[in-house]
Amino acid sequence: MPKIVPPRPFLKWAGGKTQLCNELLNRTPDFGRYLEPFVGGGALFFALVRAGKIKRAYLSDLNTELIDTYLAIRDSVDELIPELSIYEHKKDFFYDLRALDPDDMTQVKRAARMIYLNKTCYNGLYRVNQQGKFNVPFGSYKSPLICDRENLLRVAEALQNIEIECASFEAVVKKARKNDFVYFDPPYEPLSKTANFTSYQPGGFNQEAQTQLQQVCEKLHSRQVKFMLSNSAAGLIRELYNGNGYQIDEVKANRAINSNPKRRGKLTELIVTNYPIASKNS
């Protein structure tokens, strides 16, 4: 019998939650629908798919190219695979493709470009400049797996019947109903001014946005929607979620992407829930 391999994230994403996944899974409640409004690479979503816990879901993010990639995989994987499989791991090809304007491309070509650049760029990091143009240099991988056909097919299958939208996180308020579960993984509040990690898009995610997100959480809480949020252990985050009976747990995570290698190491991060979690040590 061939081994059935479940879907994995198809992009490496800055701030991706692969290594915190077990901590997050252990805190996931029973739920009706799953909503993830900062989906990025979707580490928790795919872990929940593998655990057989997703019946209906809504995934969104403000990054248009990212959402187009999800949509192209969901709706056009049979066109996407042949397109991506002819892309070569060569410096000239990389810079020619990087220079193209995704707005002038079809959704399938835009998705192929996004996956290709993600698999071959330095550190697999998604970063844009002030003009919103992807600006990460060529990476020196020996033979990166650019077109992981089997995984793309499994991801396409997992995304059938999933609602996917390019939207800011506030849109989740209109979508979520009682007994739904929302997982928020926003860009982290920096621990210090110099720690200010890259922009996912121009404009970044400032303190005002963190405060608006907390207000969204309040609205969901008042409607008996369950939510879980991960963020840095910055003072602002502790202040914003200190109340309402929210639970704030501290977890340790390896910082995966930091431009200064000396600053990689175990960091305390916060997981906030509006429902109680039994302590693992009790």
> Contact positions toward ligand SAM, by CB under 6 A?
13, 15-17, 37-38, 40-43, 61-63, 168-169, 185-187, 200-201, 205
Distance CA 166, CA 160 (A): 17
Task: State which residue, 83 or 185, has the beta carbon closest to ligand SAM.
Answer: 185
Which amino acid is residue 104, in one-letter code?
D
Q: Whole-number minimum distance, CB 216 to ligand SAM, in Å?
A: 10
Q: In what order do the strands lie in the sheet with 163-166?
A: 163-166, 56-61, 33-36, 181-184, 226-232, 266-273, 247-254
Q: Whole-number minimum distance, CB 276 to ligand SAM, in Å?
A: 23
Task: State which residue, 42 or 83, has the beta carbon closest to ligand SAM.
Answer: 42
Q: Give yes or no for a contact between 183 and 20, defined as CB atoms under 8 angstroms apart.
A: no
Task: State which residue, 79 or 258, has the beta carbon closest to ligand SAM.
Answer: 258
Q: Whole-number minimum distance, CB 90 to ligand SAM, in Å?
A: 28
Q: Whole-number minimum distance, CB 192 to ligand SAM, in Å?
A: 18
Task: State which residue, 89 or 175, has the beta carbon closest to ligand SAM.
Answer: 175
Task: State which residue, 16 or 124, has the beta carbon closest to ligand SAM.
Answer: 16
Q: Whole-number minimum distance, CB 92 to ligand SAM, in Å?
A: 29
Q: Whole-number minimum distance, CB 128 to ligand SAM, in Å?
A: 10
Residue 153 tokens read as 């097919």
Task: State which residue, 15 or 124, has the beta carbon closest to ligand SAM.
Answer: 15
Distance CA 180, CA 172 (A): 11
Q: Whole-number minimum distance, CB 166 to ligand SAM, in Å?
A: 9
Task: State which residue, 89 or 212, has the beta carbon closest to ligand SAM.
Answer: 212
